[in-house]
Amino acid sequence: MGRKLIFITGVGIGYVLGTRAGREKFDQMVAQARKFWESPTVQEAAGVVQAQATKLYDDGKQAVSDQVHRLSSREGTALEEGTTAEDVEAASRRSQFPANAF
């Protein structure tokens, strides 16, 4: 979504800079963009998207926290400062496939 927004913004800037209409056309485009953004439908959709993004972030944060806690308690020690994602991944693999499982 972010890349599309950047692309659309770039197209708009390129259009304004490439036209002879100049400032007048730019002001018209800005007014249309504001009108679109301030419409109740767009604001409602933005609120829904923001709420979903916040929920996904919170759920993901909780899942990662639970997994780290589970892994650290399974290993018997808390994770030390400086532990990398690779360390956690390796510990996760060890906990899923014990050495004597094969």
Q: What pLDDT digit, counting tens, does each position of 72-81 carry?
A: 776 655 555 6
Tokens of 69: 């806690």
Looking at per-residue confidence, does 5 or 36 come out higher? Answer: 36
44 pLDDT above the threshold of 90: yes
DSSP string, 76-99: TSPPPTT--HHHHHHHHHHHHS-G
Q: What pLDDT digit, counting tens, does each position of 11-27 carry?
A: 887 777 776 667 787 78
